[in-house]
């Protein structure tokens, strides 16, 4: 009898065992004479995968041959010897196909019977073990610039079938990562290194912090002062994007000759020579100052302050009008003092209250040497005349034995090097008549210098090679002393002149349609900063001149303003960077300016070149003393304000030197005489229809 057993998965109709996808099928036959014909096992050649919850069917088809009939047995509920035996199938478990007219019938549901067809499953092979997690050996990493470190990833479980991982960096400009997990610091900042498994997309990450330590510190400023004069020194910290603490500590070698405050302001005291030292972190810089004879002492001004002050009508100058020195000394708050009040204007502050670490007003000279020092390459001392290009090109078959031996150092055993042809006309490089098969480099004969590769002259080689005299450019195997341009090797892109790598060149190049930045002969593809040529100073970003850049940039000479990629020495105004808004004059950040500005329709307060948007207090210009709130003149403010010279009365934003009356603050009511608190007055005062009793300027009743 013939049979066919089929397996279907994913049934779409539970009443049709053949409504799914045919996954496997096995056919065969057995004889009715077999003793075990009532129980037949059919094993499939390949395993069939059935997902959890999926409806599947096992279908057996039988066909008799030669007049044989097919007899099917089924189980049913019956009673044997008084014992009830229920072998019935559940609905949708046992079907029979009678003919096309009846189709499939659910015997388990209608007849409570179950045909003796049983399906058994067996896992013939264990599935691959899936990845459950991945763990890094470190989750935080701190590196210095250009430092590298290996991260390792553990894929779990240990018997996972696929342990392949993928490494990525959130910011490759800060930290790069190879597919082997090697992290390399590229720039200051933070980046997240992530490892992800191919199987399951499991992840773990490590936060990398890259620091740029201070490498150098320099002091700029005058080298000579007269006794009694003052001057501000500035400091340049390199690299400019260091992540170290840039707090500078100033000291003087002799405070009797000159004193220096922590803002770099030097006060010359007496004749002599003194060393001013600036320290940032572990780095120090020294600056020698020569103090000459004292300058004549200026006389004290007695100019009376005007009581009629107009509002500003024009841009104030950078200098302020000096008031008299007879104003009362500053106090933290009004006290019961007996100090005589003055009717004169308050004295302007003698110096900015804050200073910056960079202060220079000198514009860079276009002809000045760039900031980065160059290393001068050693020119050949022997080969310049020997490598002159001959009048005839080598024919690859020179007929004469070369006379010139390479400039190899002598050893204890004399070795004779030479180039010559073998019997087949191939040029080789010989050492004591034996081909130097392990030699790769340069060699010369009477026809010039040639590139040797594994002991043979390589007439197809074009590129770089070096000897004790420098790096040289070869074209078709021969030294090309006419080559001018760029060449590459595994270390980068380099600038060649007259066939030799020009280590002495630092500046700008335009080999095609791009201006590139070169330092010590190497093209710096990651350089961002300033560079100069005969046409001016320019702004570079990622190694290329950025003609679209408008904004601020700095070098060791100060902070500068660029317009469309070029230094604009005519720019006067404000510019922004991530640290704030700054005041520029003649294209340079003016760290020396402290005062008032009106760039548009608002008067702003500037200290050491920076616009202080949060400043609340007093400031002076040619038109008077003004009250600032949140960095701008408050023209509606009427009340009291204090500076180091006393308490003052403001009317509509300006000191009212004509005001005599009562003013109030959080400490009480106070008697003002000609614009300032009269701490020396005790008595009575009539105003606003009432009498005030005053003691030492304070209203007590």
What pLDDT score was predicted for residue 69? 61
What pLDDT score was predicted for residue 237? 87
Burial call 672-700: b when 16+ CB within 10 Å, e when fewer? bbbbbbbbebbeebeeeeeebebebbbbe
Radius of gyration (Cα) for the chain, nearest Å? 47
Give the sign of the dihedral formed by CA 313, CA 319, CA 322, CA 327: positive
What pLDDT score was predicted for residue 66? 57
Give me the residues of the chain with pLDDT under 70, please. 31-39, 64-89, 108-128, 293-413
H or E segment and range at residue 108: helix 107-110
Structure token pair of residue 434? 């034996």
What pLDDT score was predicted for residue 362? 40
What pLDDT score was predicted for residue 338? 37
| Cα–Cα distance measured from residue 443 to residue 435, given in angstroms and rounded to the nearest whole number | 13
Structure token pair of residue 208? 């990398």
Residue 521 DSSP SS3: coil
Half-sphere exposure of 616 (CA within 13 A, CB side): 6
Strand partners, 224: 290
Of 631, 632, 636, 640, nearest in space to 653 by CA: 636
pTM: 0.41
Strand partners, 621: 624
Residue 690 DSSP SS3: strand
| Cα–Cα distance measured from residue 557 to residue 563, given in angstroms and rounded to the nearest whole number | 18
Residue 231 DSSP SS3: strand
């Amino acid at each position: 009898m013939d049979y066919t057993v089929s397996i279907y998965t994913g049934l779409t109709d539970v009443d049709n065992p053949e409504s799914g996808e045919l996954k496997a099928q096995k056919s065969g036959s057995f004889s009715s004479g077999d003793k075990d014909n009532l129980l037949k096992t059919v094993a499939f050649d390949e395993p069939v995968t059935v997902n959890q919850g999926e409806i599947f069917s096992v279908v057996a088809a039988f066909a008799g041959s030669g007049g044989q009939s097919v007899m099917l047995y089924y189980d049913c509920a019956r009673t044997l010897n008084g014992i009830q035996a229920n072998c019935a199938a559940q609905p949708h478990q046992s079907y029979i196909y009678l003919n096309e007219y009846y189709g499939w019938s659910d015997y388990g549901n209608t007849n409570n019977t179950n045909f003796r067809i049983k399906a058994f499953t067996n896992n013939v092979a264990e599935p691959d073990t899936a990845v459950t997690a991945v763990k890094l050996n470190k989750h935080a990493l701190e590196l210095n610039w250009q430092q590298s470190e290996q991260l390792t990833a553990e894929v779990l479980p240990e018997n996972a079938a696929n342990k392949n991982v993928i490494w990525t960096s959130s910011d490759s400009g800060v930290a790069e990562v190879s597919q082997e997990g090697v992290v390399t610091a590229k720039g200051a900042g933070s980046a997240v290194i992530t490892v992800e498994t191919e199987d399951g997309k499991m992840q773990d990450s490590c936060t990398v912090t890259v620091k740029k330590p201070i490498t150098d510190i320099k002091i700029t400023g005058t080298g000579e002062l007269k006794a009694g004069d003052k001057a501000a020194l500035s400091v340049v910290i390199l690299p400019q994007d260091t992540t170290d603490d840039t707090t500078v500590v100033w000291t003087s070698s002799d405070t009797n000759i000159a004193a220096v405050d922590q803002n770099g302001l030097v006060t010359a005291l007496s004749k002599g020579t003194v060393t001013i030292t600036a320290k940032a972190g572990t780095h120090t810089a020294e600056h020698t100052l020569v103090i000459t004879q004292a300058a004549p002492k200026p006389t004290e001004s007695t100019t009376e302050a005007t009581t009629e002050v107009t509002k500003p009508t024009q841009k104030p100058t950078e200098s302020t009008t000096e008031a008299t020195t007879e104003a009362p000394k500053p106090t933290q708050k009004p006290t019961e003092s007996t100090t005589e009040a003055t009717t004169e204007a308050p004295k302007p502050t003698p110096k900015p209250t804050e200073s910056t670490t960079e202060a220079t007003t000198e514009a860079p000279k276009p002809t000045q040497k760039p900031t980065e020092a160059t290393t001068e390459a050693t020119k050949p001392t022997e080969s310049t005349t020997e490598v002159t290009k001959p009048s005839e090109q080598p024919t690859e078959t020179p007929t004469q034995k070369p006379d010139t031996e390479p400039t190899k150092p002598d050893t204890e055993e004399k070795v004779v090097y030479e180039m010559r042809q073998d019997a087949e006309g191939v040029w080789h490089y010989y050492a004591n008549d034996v081909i130097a098969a392990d030699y790769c480099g340069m060699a010369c004969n009477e026809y010039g210098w040639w590139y040797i590769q594994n002991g043979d002259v390589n007439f197809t080689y074009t590129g770089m090679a070096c000897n004790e005299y420098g790096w040289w450019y070869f074209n078709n195997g021969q030294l090309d002393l006419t080559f001018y341009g760029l060449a590459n090797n595994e270390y980068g892109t380099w600038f060649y002149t007259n066939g030799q790598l020009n280590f002495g060149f630092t500046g700008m190049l335009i080999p095609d349609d791009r201006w590139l930045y070169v330092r010590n002969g190497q093209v710096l593809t990651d350089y961002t900063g300033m560079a100069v040529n005969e046409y001016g100073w320019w702004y570079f970003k990622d190694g290329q001149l950025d003609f679209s850049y408008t904004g601020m940039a700095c070098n060791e000479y100060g902070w500068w303003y660029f317009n469309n990629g070029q230094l604009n020495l005519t720019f006067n105004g404000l510019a922004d960077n991530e640290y704030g808004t700054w005041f520029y004059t003649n294209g340079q950040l003016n760290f020396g300016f402290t005062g008032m500005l009106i760039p548009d329709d608002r008067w702003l307060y500037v200290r050491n070149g920076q616009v202080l948007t949060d400043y609340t207090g007093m400031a002076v210009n040619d038109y008077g003393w003004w009250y600032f709130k949140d960095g701008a003149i408050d023209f509606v403010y009427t009340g009291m304000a204090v500076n180091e010279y006393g308490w003052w009365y403001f009317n509509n934003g300006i000191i009212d030197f004509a005001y005599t009356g009562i003013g109030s603050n959080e400490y009480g009511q106070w008697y003002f005489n000609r614009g300032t608190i009269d701490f020396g007055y005790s008595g009575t005062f009539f105003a606003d229809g009432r009498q005030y009793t005053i003691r030492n300027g304070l209203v007590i009743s």
